[in-house]
Structure formats: C-alpha cells, structure tokens
C-alpha cells in the first residue's frame, strides 16, 4: 500500500528557475512531513520538514507548502542551481507509529546550467 505518492518522477529545470515537486498522502494521522535530498552514492540528507499546523515553511531557497485539506504538500526550490541536481524524496511519519518514515518514490531533478 503506497501511502505517499510523489510526482513527477523526473524533472529538468534551467538554472535560476523554480523546481516544484509534489506529494500526496492518504493517512490523516501523519503529523510530520520531511523532504530528503540524496546524491548518488550518498544517504538521504534531511533538507526541510513541516508539521501540519502550518501551511508553509521556508529555509533559504527551499520552501514547503502544505495543504492539509487536500492532503498534499510540495517542495519549491527557488533559483535552482546545478548543485541542486539530486533525487528528492518526500516522506511522512506519525508519532503513534514509532516515527517510522514512509517515503515517496523519489524525483530525479536535473538543473541545467
């Protein structure tokens, strides 16, 4: 059962553009929504996360937008740079399930110079 659906599977953006990755979840008990960035040969690195009591969180060029009623959240990367080229995973967890992270299927982002 796929509880977190991520799209698109791949994304190509020009340098300086905005990268947008979307995720949808099914379980309304989820209460933590992180985004991870993974470079080839590396483990996932925590990028930014949001709790459902806020609709937006911004850290530098990275912003999470959260829509609780639609059960959707998205990652926006402003002024995308070639160094942002990586695979991005959204995830969700809930405190009553041992904080187990349920990951999306990933988005491969390529930022062209």
Partner 1 sequence: EAGVVQSPRYKIIEKKQPVAFWCNPISGHNTLYWYLQNLGQGPELLIRYENEEAVDDSQLPKDRFSAERLKGVDSTLKIQPAELGDSAVYLCASSLNAGSYEQYFGPGTRLTVT
Can you give the binding site for partner 1, defined by CB under 8 A? 6, 32, 34, 36, 41-46, 49, 89, 91, 93, 95, 98-101, 103-106
d(CA 4, CA 2): 6
- Closer to partner 1 by Cβ: residue 43 or 113: 43
- Closer to partner 1 by Cβ: residue 17 or 38: 38
Smallest separation (angstroms) from partner 1 to the CB of 10: 10
Relative to beta strand 86-92, strand 102-103 is antiparallel
CA angle (109 as vertex; 10, 23 as ends), nearest 5: 65
- Closer to partner 1 by Cβ: residue 17 or 22: 22
Smallest separation (angstroms) from partner 1 to the CB of 106: 6
**Residue 29, Cα to own-chain centre: how many angstroms?**
18
Under 8 Å between Cβ of 77 and 62: yes
Smallest separation (angstroms) from partner 1 to the CB of 2: 10
Under 8 Å between Cβ of 79 and 108: no
Smallest separation (angstroms) from partner 1 to the CB of 40: 11
């Amino acid at each position: 059962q796929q509880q977190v659906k991520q799209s698109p599977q791949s994304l190509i953006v020009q340098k300086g553009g905005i990268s947008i990755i979307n995720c949808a979840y099914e379980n309304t008990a989820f209460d933590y929504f992180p985004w991870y960035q993974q470079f080839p040969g590396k483990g996932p690195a925590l990028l930014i996360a949001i709790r459902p009591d806020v609709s937006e969180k911004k850290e530098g060029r990275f912003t999470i937008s959260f829509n609780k009623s639609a059960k959707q959240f998205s990652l926006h990367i402003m002024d995308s740079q070639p160094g942002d080229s990586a695979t991005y995973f959204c995830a969700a967890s809930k405190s009553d399930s041992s904080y187990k992270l349920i990951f999306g299927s990933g988005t491969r982002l390529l930022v062209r110079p």
